[in-house]
């Protein structure tokens, strides 16, 4: 992983998002959403790299490919 990392492991993480508001589950909003999967409350599984840095003695998420920046987005026309 790099010279700053003492040890690293690949782990599977299950993430469950907060409940989706009822108004966001309406067919009209689902039809507008670019990715309707973001309205799902099903947990998502990710494989990430967790490691222990030499400077610290605690585990940290050190996977640069991992992001949970999820949200509802819609196309906008002007």
> Per-residue pLDDT for 7 more than 60?
yes
| Between 10 and 68, the higher pLDDT residue | 10
Q: What pLDDT shows up at residue 53? A: 86
Contacting residues for 55 by C-beta, under 8 A, at least 6 apart: 4
What is the pLDDT confidence band of residue 37, given thresholds at 50, 70 and 90?
Answer: confident
Report yes or no on whether pTM surpasses 0.95.
Answer: no
Q: What pLDDT shows up at residue 10? A: 93
């Amino acid at each position: 992983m790099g010279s700053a990392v003492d040890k690293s492991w690949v782990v599977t993480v299950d993430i469950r998002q907060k409940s989706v508001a009822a108004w966001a589950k309406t067919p009209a909003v689902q039809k507008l959403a670019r990715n309707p999967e973001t309205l799902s409350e099903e947990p998502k599984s990710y494989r990430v790299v967790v490691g222990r840095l030499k400077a610290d003695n605690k585990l940290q998420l050190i996977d640069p490919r991992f992001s949970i920046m999820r949200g509802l987005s819609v196309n906008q026309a002007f």
